[in-house]
Amino acid sequence: MPSKPTKKVSSVQKKTNPDIYRFIDFFVKTGEKILGKKPNVVRGKDGMLVSYALRTFPVGKLETLAVWFLVKKKKLRPLIGTMLSHTVLDELMRDMNHPGFWKEIDSLMDQYYPRMETPRMWQPFSYQDITTMKEDVAKIMRRFT
**Residue pLDDT, tens place only, 73-104:** 989 999 999 999 999 989 988 988 888 998 99
Q: Write out the H or E segment, with its range, that includes residue 21.
A: helix 18-35
Number of domains in the chain: 1
Domain assignment present for residue 120? The answer is no
139: in domain: no
Domain assignment present for residue 131? The answer is no
pLDDT (0 to 100) of residue 116? 77
In terms of phi and psi (left: phi > 0; alpha: psi -120 to 50; beta: otherwise), the region of 36 is: left
Residues 6+ apart with CB under 8 A from 98: none
* Residue 52, in any domain of the structure: yes
pTM above 0.75, yes or no: no
Residue 4 lies in a domain: no
DSSP letter assigned to residue 6: P
- Which one, of 87, 98, 89, lies nearest residue 61 by Cα? 89
Q: Residue 59 is part of which domain span?
A: 18-112
Q: How many CB atoms lie within 10 A of CB 92?
A: 16
In a domain, 45, yes or no: yes
Q: Is residue 133 part of a domain?
A: no
Split at pLDDT 50, 70, 90, the class of 124 is confident
